[in-house]
A and B are shown apart, each in its own frame.
Chain A
Amino acid sequence: MNPFALFQDESEEPDAIPFVTDTHRRRFVALLIDTSWSMAATQSNGMRAIDVLNQELTRWLPTVRAEGRGALRDVEFVVVTFGAGGVRVVSGDGTASAADGAAFVPASRLDLPTLTAGGATPMVAAVELALDLVEQRRQHVQTVHAQQTGGPRLILVSDGTPTDDEGNPTDDWRPLARRLEQWRSTRRLQMFAFGVPGVDDEVMRALATPSGYFALADLDLRKLLDLILVATSDHVDFDQVRSQVYGDDL
Protein backbone atom coordinates (compact mmCIF):
# COMPACT_ATOMS: atom_id res chain seq x y z
CA MET A 1 0.00 0.00 0.00
CA ASN A 2 1.18 3.48 -0.75
CA PRO A 3 2.22 4.82 2.64
CA PHE A 4 1.09 8.31 1.65
CA ALA A 5 -2.35 7.29 0.47
CA LEU A 6 -3.88 9.03 3.46
CA PHE A 7 -2.77 12.35 2.04
CA GLN A 8 -4.21 11.57 -1.37
CA ASP A 9 -7.56 10.77 0.21
CA GLU A 10 -7.87 14.20 1.72
CA SER A 11 -10.79 16.03 0.23
CA GLU A 12 -9.03 19.35 0.49
CA GLU A 13 -5.80 19.96 -1.32
CA PRO A 14 -3.06 20.59 1.21
CA ASP A 15 -1.25 23.06 -0.98
CA ALA A 16 -1.73 25.76 -3.52
CA ILE A 17 1.78 25.89 -4.87
CA PRO A 18 1.78 27.65 -8.27
CA PHE A 19 3.80 25.03 -10.12
CA VAL A 20 5.13 25.70 -13.60
CA THR A 21 2.53 24.20 -15.93
CA ASP A 22 3.13 26.18 -19.10
CA THR A 23 6.60 24.98 -19.91
CA HIS A 24 6.67 26.48 -23.40
CA ARG A 25 8.13 23.17 -24.43
CA ARG A 26 6.56 20.97 -27.02
CA ARG A 27 7.49 17.44 -27.84
CA PHE A 28 6.44 15.77 -31.05
CA VAL A 29 5.62 12.09 -31.06
CA ALA A 30 5.07 10.41 -34.43
CA LEU A 31 3.25 7.10 -34.14
CA LEU A 32 3.59 4.88 -37.21
CA ILE A 33 1.23 1.91 -37.43
CA ASP A 34 1.43 -0.94 -39.92
CA THR A 35 -2.03 -1.52 -41.46
CA SER A 36 -0.93 -3.78 -44.31
CA TRP A 37 -2.89 -6.87 -45.41
CA SER A 38 -1.28 -9.06 -42.77
CA MET A 39 -3.14 -7.13 -40.07
CA ALA A 40 -6.34 -8.42 -41.66
CA ALA A 41 -5.00 -11.93 -42.23
CA THR A 42 -3.50 -12.48 -38.78
CA GLN A 43 -5.85 -13.67 -36.06
CA SER A 44 -5.65 -12.74 -32.41
CA ASN A 45 -7.97 -14.65 -30.07
CA GLY A 46 -10.23 -15.53 -33.00
CA MET A 47 -10.46 -11.94 -34.24
CA ARG A 48 -8.66 -10.20 -37.06
CA ALA A 49 -5.68 -8.30 -35.70
CA ILE A 50 -6.94 -5.01 -37.15
CA ASP A 51 -10.28 -5.44 -35.37
CA VAL A 52 -8.53 -6.15 -32.08
CA LEU A 53 -6.35 -3.08 -32.65
CA ASN A 54 -9.41 -0.88 -33.20
CA GLN A 55 -11.06 -2.31 -30.12
CA GLU A 56 -7.99 -1.71 -27.99
CA LEU A 57 -7.56 1.81 -29.38
CA THR A 58 -11.00 2.76 -28.05
CA ARG A 59 -9.79 1.75 -24.59
CA TRP A 60 -6.39 3.38 -25.00
CA LEU A 61 -7.29 6.79 -26.43
CA PRO A 62 -9.15 8.08 -23.33
CA THR A 63 -6.08 7.19 -21.26
CA VAL A 64 -3.87 9.20 -23.62
CA ARG A 65 -6.27 12.14 -23.49
CA ALA A 66 -6.30 12.03 -19.69
CA GLU A 67 -2.49 11.95 -19.61
CA GLY A 68 -2.56 14.85 -22.05
CA ARG A 69 -4.01 17.00 -19.30
CA GLY A 70 -1.19 15.97 -16.98
CA ALA A 71 2.14 14.29 -17.66
CA LEU A 72 1.80 14.44 -21.48
CA ARG A 73 0.61 18.04 -21.57
CA ASP A 74 3.51 19.18 -23.76
CA VAL A 75 3.11 16.35 -26.31
CA GLU A 76 1.69 16.69 -29.81
CA PHE A 77 0.94 13.49 -31.72
CA VAL A 78 0.96 12.78 -35.42
CA VAL A 79 -0.27 9.31 -36.36
CA VAL A 80 0.61 7.81 -39.72
CA THR A 81 -0.54 4.43 -41.03
CA PHE A 82 1.04 2.46 -43.82
CA GLY A 83 -0.92 -0.26 -45.61
CA ALA A 84 -4.52 0.22 -46.66
CA GLY A 85 -4.65 3.38 -48.76
CA GLY A 86 -0.85 3.62 -48.85
CA VAL A 87 0.73 6.09 -46.41
CA ARG A 88 -1.97 8.07 -44.58
CA VAL A 89 -2.08 10.66 -41.85
CA VAL A 90 -4.94 9.60 -39.57
CA SER A 91 -4.56 12.12 -36.75
CA GLY A 92 -5.97 15.66 -36.69
CA ASP A 93 -7.66 16.63 -39.92
CA GLY A 94 -5.91 13.82 -41.80
CA THR A 95 -3.82 16.09 -44.02
CA ALA A 96 -0.06 15.74 -44.35
CA SER A 97 0.50 19.27 -43.09
CA ALA A 98 2.41 20.66 -40.11
CA ALA A 99 0.20 23.74 -39.85
CA ASP A 100 -1.83 24.40 -36.71
CA GLY A 101 -5.00 22.31 -36.68
CA ALA A 102 -3.73 19.86 -39.29
CA ALA A 103 -1.88 16.58 -38.68
CA PHE A 104 -0.55 17.34 -35.17
CA VAL A 105 -2.89 17.25 -32.20
CA PRO A 106 -2.19 17.67 -28.48
CA ALA A 107 -2.31 14.42 -26.53
CA SER A 108 -5.37 15.77 -24.70
CA ARG A 109 -7.31 15.80 -27.97
CA LEU A 110 -5.95 12.72 -29.73
CA ASP A 111 -8.61 10.75 -31.57
CA LEU A 112 -8.33 8.26 -34.41
CA PRO A 113 -10.75 6.89 -36.99
CA THR A 114 -11.43 3.16 -37.28
CA LEU A 115 -8.39 1.74 -39.02
CA THR A 116 -8.66 -0.60 -41.99
CA ALA A 117 -6.08 -3.14 -43.16
CA GLY A 118 -4.94 -4.08 -46.63
CA GLY A 119 -2.32 -3.56 -49.29
CA ALA A 120 1.47 -3.43 -49.16
CA THR A 121 3.85 -2.26 -46.40
CA PRO A 122 5.27 1.14 -47.45
CA MET A 123 7.06 1.53 -44.11
CA VAL A 124 9.96 3.55 -45.52
CA ALA A 125 7.69 6.13 -47.13
CA ALA A 126 5.73 6.41 -43.88
CA VAL A 127 8.84 7.05 -41.77
CA GLU A 128 10.13 9.56 -44.32
CA LEU A 129 6.80 11.39 -44.20
CA ALA A 130 6.84 11.41 -40.39
CA LEU A 131 10.34 12.86 -40.30
CA ASP A 132 9.40 15.54 -42.82
CA LEU A 133 6.26 16.46 -40.87
CA VAL A 134 8.09 16.59 -37.55
CA GLU A 135 10.75 18.86 -39.01
CA GLN A 136 8.14 21.13 -40.58
CA ARG A 137 6.20 21.25 -37.32
CA ARG A 138 9.35 22.10 -35.37
CA GLN A 139 10.06 25.00 -37.70
CA HIS A 140 6.42 26.15 -37.55
CA VAL A 141 6.34 26.12 -33.74
CA GLN A 142 9.64 27.95 -33.54
CA THR A 143 8.86 30.64 -36.08
CA VAL A 144 5.12 31.17 -35.60
CA HIS A 145 4.79 30.48 -31.88
CA ALA A 146 8.34 31.48 -30.86
CA GLN A 147 8.72 28.25 -28.94
CA GLN A 148 11.49 25.73 -29.19
CA THR A 149 10.92 22.02 -28.96
CA GLY A 150 12.27 18.94 -27.27
CA GLY A 151 13.83 16.05 -29.18
CA PRO A 152 11.27 14.32 -31.41
CA ARG A 153 10.18 10.76 -30.83
CA LEU A 154 9.26 8.15 -33.42
CA ILE A 155 7.32 5.04 -32.43
CA LEU A 156 7.10 2.41 -35.15
CA VAL A 157 4.86 -0.66 -35.00
CA SER A 158 5.05 -3.32 -37.70
CA ASP A 159 4.49 -6.99 -38.35
CA GLY A 160 6.06 -7.11 -41.79
CA THR A 161 8.85 -6.28 -44.20
CA PRO A 162 9.14 -2.91 -45.99
CA THR A 163 7.82 -2.94 -49.54
CA ASP A 164 7.20 -0.40 -52.26
CA ASP A 165 3.64 0.66 -53.06
CA GLU A 166 3.12 -2.45 -55.15
CA GLY A 167 4.24 -4.90 -52.50
CA ASN A 168 7.72 -5.61 -53.83
CA PRO A 169 10.45 -5.94 -51.18
CA THR A 170 12.68 -2.88 -51.11
CA ASP A 171 16.10 -1.97 -49.78
CA ASP A 172 15.12 1.67 -49.35
CA TRP A 173 15.29 1.16 -45.60
CA ARG A 174 19.11 1.20 -45.76
CA PRO A 175 19.42 4.91 -46.70
CA LEU A 176 16.55 5.61 -44.28
CA ALA A 177 18.56 3.98 -41.48
CA ARG A 178 21.41 6.38 -42.24
CA ARG A 179 19.02 9.36 -42.18
CA LEU A 180 17.65 8.23 -38.83
CA GLU A 181 21.16 7.86 -37.45
CA GLN A 182 21.87 11.42 -38.48
CA TRP A 183 18.69 12.59 -36.76
CA ARG A 184 19.70 10.77 -33.61
CA SER A 185 23.06 12.49 -33.49
CA THR A 186 22.05 15.98 -34.58
CA ARG A 187 18.38 16.41 -33.63
CA ARG A 188 18.11 14.25 -30.53
CA LEU A 189 15.67 11.85 -32.18
CA GLN A 190 14.60 8.99 -29.96
CA MET A 191 13.09 6.06 -31.85
CA PHE A 192 11.26 3.07 -30.44
CA ALA A 193 10.33 0.22 -32.79
CA PHE A 194 7.99 -2.58 -31.77
CA GLY A 195 7.96 -5.73 -33.87
CA VAL A 196 5.04 -8.12 -33.64
CA PRO A 197 5.42 -11.70 -34.98
CA GLY A 198 6.15 -11.67 -38.71
CA VAL A 199 8.28 -8.56 -38.62
CA ASP A 200 11.72 -8.32 -40.24
CA ASP A 201 13.99 -8.00 -37.19
CA GLU A 202 17.00 -6.92 -39.23
CA VAL A 203 15.18 -3.93 -40.68
CA MET A 204 13.74 -2.85 -37.35
CA ARG A 205 17.14 -3.07 -35.63
CA ALA A 206 18.75 -1.09 -38.45
CA LEU A 207 16.15 1.65 -38.19
CA ALA A 208 15.83 1.90 -34.42
CA THR A 209 19.24 0.50 -33.34
CA PRO A 210 19.34 -2.69 -31.26
CA SER A 211 18.66 -0.65 -28.10
CA GLY A 212 15.51 0.92 -29.51
CA TYR A 213 14.01 -2.24 -31.01
CA PHE A 214 11.64 -4.43 -29.02
CA ALA A 215 10.50 -7.73 -30.49
CA LEU A 216 7.20 -8.81 -28.97
CA ALA A 217 6.60 -12.52 -28.52
CA ASP A 218 2.93 -12.45 -29.39
CA LEU A 219 0.22 -10.25 -30.85
CA ASP A 220 -0.85 -8.74 -27.54
CA LEU A 221 -2.12 -5.41 -28.83
CA ARG A 222 -3.27 -4.17 -25.43
CA LYS A 223 0.25 -4.59 -24.11
CA LEU A 224 1.60 -2.96 -27.26
CA LEU A 225 -0.52 0.16 -26.75
CA ASP A 226 0.51 0.33 -23.11
CA LEU A 227 4.14 0.15 -24.24
CA ILE A 228 3.53 3.00 -26.68
CA LEU A 229 2.25 5.08 -23.78
CA VAL A 230 5.39 4.29 -21.80
CA ALA A 231 7.56 5.18 -24.81
CA THR A 232 5.76 8.53 -25.06
CA SER A 233 6.51 9.58 -21.48
CA ASP A 234 8.93 12.41 -20.84
CA HIS A 235 11.44 10.67 -18.61
CA VAL A 236 11.91 7.33 -20.27
CA ASP A 237 14.90 5.47 -21.55
CA PHE A 238 15.25 2.27 -23.56
CA ASP A 239 15.97 0.27 -20.41
CA GLN A 240 12.60 1.20 -18.94
CA VAL A 241 10.72 0.09 -22.03
CA ARG A 242 12.86 -3.06 -22.21
CA SER A 243 11.95 -3.99 -18.66
CA GLN A 244 8.25 -3.51 -19.49
CA VAL A 245 8.57 -5.75 -22.56
CA TYR A 246 10.74 -8.50 -21.20
CA GLY A 247 10.21 -8.19 -17.45
CA ASP A 248 13.30 -9.17 -15.54
CA ASP A 249 14.77 -11.20 -18.39
CA LEU A 250 16.91 -8.35 -19.62
Chain B
Amino acid sequence: MAARWSVLGGSVAGGAHARAGLSGQDAYATRELDGTLLLVTADGAGSRRYAATGANLVVTLALEVFGALAADQRPATTAAWARLLDVARHRVIRRFRRAAWALARAVGDLAPEDLATTLTVVVARPPWVAVLAVGDGVVVVRAADGNLDLLVAPTGGADQSLGTATLLPVARVRGHARRRVARLPDLTGIAVFTDGLDSLLVEYDGARPRQPGAEAFAQLFALVEGAEPDPMAVTRILAGRRVGALTDDDKTLLLAVPR
Protein backbone atom coordinates (compact mmCIF):
# COMPACT_ATOMS: atom_id res chain seq x y z
CA MET B 1 0.00 0.00 0.00
CA ALA B 2 1.09 3.58 -0.54
CA ALA B 3 3.07 5.22 2.22
CA ARG B 4 0.99 7.37 4.54
CA TRP B 5 3.93 9.30 5.94
CA SER B 6 6.69 11.49 4.57
CA VAL B 7 9.81 11.11 6.66
CA LEU B 8 13.22 12.78 6.67
CA GLY B 9 16.08 12.05 9.02
CA GLY B 10 19.71 12.77 9.56
CA SER B 11 22.47 12.29 12.08
CA VAL B 12 25.80 14.12 12.23
CA ALA B 13 28.78 13.68 14.52
CA GLY B 14 29.55 16.44 17.02
CA GLY B 15 32.54 18.68 16.50
CA ALA B 16 34.83 16.77 18.85
CA HIS B 17 34.10 13.46 17.17
CA ALA B 18 34.37 14.96 13.69
CA ARG B 19 37.71 16.63 14.45
CA ALA B 20 39.02 13.29 15.66
CA GLY B 21 37.85 11.65 12.44
CA LEU B 22 35.31 9.58 14.35
CA SER B 23 31.71 8.87 13.58
CA GLY B 24 29.02 10.00 15.97
CA GLN B 25 27.47 7.90 18.71
CA ASP B 26 23.86 8.58 17.77
CA ALA B 27 21.80 6.09 15.79
CA TYR B 28 18.34 6.21 14.26
CA ALA B 29 15.90 4.27 12.14
CA THR B 30 12.44 4.78 10.72
CA ARG B 31 9.90 2.30 9.38
CA GLU B 32 6.33 2.42 8.15
CA LEU B 33 4.17 -0.68 8.57
CA ASP B 34 0.67 -0.57 7.20
CA GLY B 35 0.25 3.08 8.07
CA THR B 36 1.92 2.80 11.46
CA LEU B 37 5.07 4.87 11.69
CA LEU B 38 8.04 3.97 13.91
CA LEU B 39 10.67 6.61 14.66
CA VAL B 40 13.61 5.47 16.77
CA THR B 41 16.66 7.40 17.99
CA ALA B 42 19.44 6.52 20.40
CA ASP B 43 22.23 8.67 21.78
CA GLY B 44 25.26 6.68 22.90
CA ALA B 45 26.94 8.03 26.04
CA GLY B 46 29.88 10.16 24.94
CA SER B 47 32.18 8.77 27.60
CA ARG B 48 31.79 5.13 26.61
CA ARG B 49 33.95 3.35 24.06
CA TYR B 50 31.23 1.17 22.58
CA ALA B 51 28.39 3.64 22.91
CA ALA B 52 27.86 3.81 19.14
CA THR B 53 27.55 0.01 19.08
CA GLY B 54 25.04 0.21 21.93
CA ALA B 55 23.03 2.90 20.16
CA ASN B 56 22.88 0.97 16.88
CA LEU B 57 22.04 -2.27 18.65
CA VAL B 58 19.21 -0.84 20.70
CA VAL B 59 17.73 0.91 17.66
CA THR B 60 17.69 -2.38 15.74
CA LEU B 61 16.10 -4.23 18.66
CA ALA B 62 13.50 -1.52 19.21
CA LEU B 63 12.53 -1.56 15.55
CA GLU B 64 12.04 -5.34 15.64
CA VAL B 65 10.11 -5.43 18.91
CA PHE B 66 7.88 -2.42 18.31
CA GLY B 67 7.34 -3.42 14.69
CA ALA B 68 6.11 -6.89 15.67
CA LEU B 69 3.82 -5.57 18.39
CA ALA B 70 2.41 -2.82 16.21
CA ALA B 71 1.64 -5.35 13.48
CA ASP B 72 -0.15 -7.66 15.93
CA GLN B 73 -2.10 -5.20 18.00
CA ARG B 74 -4.55 -2.41 17.31
CA PRO B 75 -4.82 -0.52 20.61
CA ALA B 76 -7.85 1.74 20.72
CA THR B 77 -7.55 3.22 24.19
CA THR B 78 -4.89 5.01 26.17
CA ALA B 79 -4.67 2.07 28.54
CA ALA B 80 -4.17 -0.39 25.69
CA TRP B 81 -1.40 1.73 24.20
CA ALA B 82 0.24 2.00 27.61
CA ARG B 83 0.20 -1.79 27.90
CA LEU B 84 1.76 -2.10 24.46
CA LEU B 85 4.52 0.29 25.51
CA ASP B 86 5.12 -1.65 28.71
CA VAL B 87 5.40 -4.96 26.90
CA ALA B 88 7.67 -3.47 24.25
CA ARG B 89 9.84 -1.77 26.83
CA HIS B 90 10.24 -5.00 28.74
CA ARG B 91 11.21 -6.95 25.60
CA VAL B 92 13.61 -4.37 24.20
CA ILE B 93 15.42 -3.94 27.47
CA ARG B 94 15.58 -7.65 28.17
CA ARG B 95 17.05 -8.34 24.73
CA PHE B 96 19.45 -5.43 24.95
CA ARG B 97 20.68 -6.55 28.34
CA ARG B 98 21.15 -10.10 27.13
CA ALA B 99 23.10 -8.84 24.13
CA ALA B 100 25.18 -6.50 26.29
CA TRP B 101 26.08 -9.18 28.78
CA ALA B 102 26.85 -11.63 25.99
CA LEU B 103 29.13 -9.07 24.35
CA ALA B 104 30.79 -8.39 27.68
CA ARG B 105 31.55 -12.08 28.07
CA ALA B 106 32.80 -12.41 24.52
CA VAL B 107 34.93 -9.26 24.48
CA GLY B 108 37.33 -9.28 27.38
CA ASP B 109 37.59 -5.60 28.23
CA LEU B 110 33.99 -4.60 27.59
CA ALA B 111 31.52 -3.97 30.39
CA PRO B 112 27.75 -3.75 29.72
CA GLU B 113 27.76 -0.05 30.62
CA ASP B 114 30.26 0.56 27.81
CA LEU B 115 27.23 0.26 25.52
CA ALA B 116 25.37 2.96 27.46
CA THR B 117 22.75 4.74 25.39
CA THR B 118 19.47 6.57 25.50
CA LEU B 119 16.48 5.31 23.54
CA THR B 120 13.45 7.15 22.18
CA VAL B 121 10.75 5.28 20.26
CA VAL B 122 7.69 6.92 18.71
CA VAL B 123 4.81 4.79 17.43
CA ALA B 124 2.37 6.89 15.42
CA ARG B 125 -0.91 5.51 14.17
CA PRO B 126 -3.36 8.41 13.85
CA PRO B 127 -4.97 9.54 15.97
CA TRP B 128 -2.56 7.91 18.43
CA VAL B 129 1.04 8.77 19.22
CA ALA B 130 2.82 6.63 21.80
CA VAL B 131 6.34 7.23 23.04
CA LEU B 132 8.85 5.32 25.12
CA ALA B 133 11.92 7.30 26.19
CA VAL B 134 14.87 6.30 28.33
CA GLY B 135 17.27 9.21 28.77
CA ASP B 136 17.03 12.63 27.27
CA GLY B 137 15.51 12.36 23.79
CA VAL B 138 12.91 14.95 22.81
CA VAL B 139 9.62 14.53 20.90
CA VAL B 140 7.63 17.42 19.41
CA VAL B 141 4.17 17.12 17.86
CA ARG B 142 2.41 19.66 15.64
CA ALA B 143 -1.34 20.18 15.40
CA ALA B 144 -3.34 21.34 12.37
CA ASP B 145 -3.27 24.95 13.55
CA GLY B 146 0.53 24.81 13.66
CA ASN B 147 0.60 24.64 17.44
CA LEU B 148 3.63 22.74 18.75
CA ASP B 149 3.85 20.67 21.92
CA LEU B 150 6.71 19.00 23.74
CA LEU B 151 5.31 15.50 24.01
CA VAL B 152 8.59 14.42 25.59
CA ALA B 153 10.54 17.38 26.97
CA PRO B 154 14.28 17.57 27.65
CA THR B 155 15.08 16.18 31.07
CA GLY B 156 17.29 19.09 32.14
CA GLY B 157 20.30 19.40 34.38
CA ALA B 158 19.61 17.18 37.36
CA ASP B 159 19.60 13.96 35.39
CA GLN B 160 22.68 14.89 33.43
CA SER B 161 24.97 14.36 36.39
CA LEU B 162 23.90 10.78 36.93
CA GLY B 163 25.86 9.37 34.01
CA THR B 164 25.35 5.89 32.67
CA ALA B 165 23.21 4.81 35.64
CA THR B 166 20.26 6.48 33.93
CA LEU B 167 20.92 4.89 30.55
CA LEU B 168 20.38 1.50 29.02
CA PRO B 169 21.37 -1.24 29.55
CA VAL B 170 21.90 -0.61 33.28
CA ALA B 171 19.18 1.98 34.02
CA ARG B 172 16.58 1.10 36.59
CA VAL B 173 13.87 1.25 34.01
CA ARG B 174 10.94 2.04 36.26
CA GLY B 175 12.67 5.17 37.45
CA HIS B 176 14.19 6.33 34.20
CA ALA B 177 11.83 5.33 31.39
CA ARG B 178 9.18 7.82 30.33
CA ARG B 179 5.96 6.72 28.69
CA ARG B 180 3.60 9.00 26.80
CA VAL B 181 0.33 8.18 25.04
CA ALA B 182 -1.56 10.96 23.30
CA ARG B 183 -4.68 10.98 21.16
CA LEU B 184 -4.10 13.70 18.56
CA PRO B 185 -6.84 13.74 15.89
CA ASP B 186 -5.36 16.80 14.19
CA LEU B 187 -1.73 15.69 14.20
CA THR B 188 0.22 17.23 11.31
CA GLY B 189 3.82 16.55 12.24
CA ILE B 190 6.23 14.72 14.54
CA ALA B 191 9.85 15.56 15.29
CA VAL B 192 12.24 13.45 17.32
CA PHE B 193 15.74 14.59 18.22
CA THR B 194 18.64 13.84 20.51
CA ASP B 195 19.82 16.19 23.24
CA GLY B 196 22.50 17.76 21.04
CA LEU B 197 19.73 19.81 19.45
CA ASP B 198 17.56 20.66 22.42
CA SER B 199 19.13 24.07 23.05
CA LEU B 200 18.59 24.97 19.36
CA LEU B 201 15.03 23.72 19.01
CA VAL B 202 13.50 24.27 22.45
CA GLU B 203 12.86 27.59 24.17
CA TYR B 204 13.66 27.60 27.85
CA ASP B 205 12.20 29.52 30.73
CA GLY B 206 15.19 29.47 32.97
CA ALA B 207 16.16 25.85 33.38
CA ARG B 208 12.67 24.68 32.41
CA PRO B 209 11.88 23.74 28.81
CA ARG B 210 8.95 25.92 27.77
CA GLN B 211 8.03 25.23 24.15
CA PRO B 212 9.48 24.15 20.80
CA GLY B 213 10.98 26.92 18.68
CA ALA B 214 8.07 27.82 16.38
CA GLU B 215 10.06 29.49 13.60
CA ALA B 216 12.63 26.72 13.41
CA PHE B 217 10.02 23.99 13.22
CA ALA B 218 7.95 25.85 10.65
CA GLN B 219 10.91 25.67 8.28
CA LEU B 220 11.98 22.18 9.28
CA PHE B 221 8.55 20.66 8.69
CA ALA B 222 8.39 22.51 5.35
CA LEU B 223 11.37 20.41 4.24
CA VAL B 224 9.35 17.22 4.52
CA GLU B 225 6.07 18.60 3.22
CA GLY B 226 7.24 19.32 -0.32
CA ALA B 227 6.20 17.13 -3.22
CA GLU B 228 9.63 15.52 -3.40
CA PRO B 229 11.53 16.08 -0.16
CA ASP B 230 15.32 16.16 -0.51
CA PRO B 231 16.49 13.06 1.41
CA MET B 232 19.73 14.81 2.42
CA ALA B 233 18.09 18.04 3.59
CA VAL B 234 18.27 17.29 7.32
CA THR B 235 21.82 15.98 7.16
CA ARG B 236 22.89 19.08 5.27
CA ILE B 237 21.42 21.34 7.95
CA LEU B 238 22.92 19.38 10.82
CA ALA B 239 26.33 19.43 9.15
CA GLY B 240 26.14 23.16 8.39
CA ARG B 241 28.33 25.77 10.03
CA ARG B 242 25.41 27.33 11.86
CA VAL B 243 24.57 24.19 13.81
CA GLY B 244 28.26 23.39 14.31
CA ALA B 245 28.77 26.79 15.93
CA LEU B 246 25.87 26.34 18.31
CA THR B 247 26.44 22.80 19.53
CA ASP B 248 29.43 20.50 19.74
CA ASP B 249 27.34 17.42 20.51
CA ASP B 250 26.28 14.61 18.19
CA LYS B 251 22.86 15.46 16.78
CA THR B 252 20.07 13.47 15.21
CA LEU B 253 16.76 14.77 13.90
CA LEU B 254 13.77 12.90 12.46
CA LEU B 255 10.82 14.71 10.89
CA ALA B 256 7.55 13.08 9.82
CA VAL B 257 4.28 14.38 8.43
CA PRO B 258 1.17 12.39 7.48
CA ARG B 259 0.37 12.49 3.76
Contacts and interface: CB of A to CB of B under 8 A. Distances in A.
Contacts of B150: none
A150 B242 contact: no
A3 B235 CA distance: 11
A23 interface: yes
B108 interface: no
B163 A151 contact: no
Contacts, number: 130
A19 B201 contact: yes
B207 interface: yes
Nearest to B208: A148
Contact of B207 (A5, A149, A236): A149
B203 A24 contact: yes
A166 interface: no
Interface of B: 12-13, 18-19, 21, 23, 45-49, 109, 156-158, 160-164, 195-196, 199-208, 213, 215-216, 219-220, 235-237, 239-249
Interface stretch (A51-59, A110-118, A238-246): A238-246
B207 A151 contact: yes
Contacts of B246: 19, 21, 70-71, 73
A17 B199 contact: no
B235 A70 contact: no
A27 B162 CA distance: 18
A14 B220 CA distance: 13
A74 B205 CA distance: 13
B134 to A, nearest CB: 15
A238 B236 CA distance: 32
Interface residues of A, number: 45
A8 B241 contact: yes
A239 B48 CA distance: 8
Interface in A35-90: 69-71, 73-74
B206 A147 contact: yes
A150 B203 CA distance: 13
A2 B204 CA distance: 32
B164 A17 contact: no
A20 B200 contact: yes
A142 B206 CA distance: 9
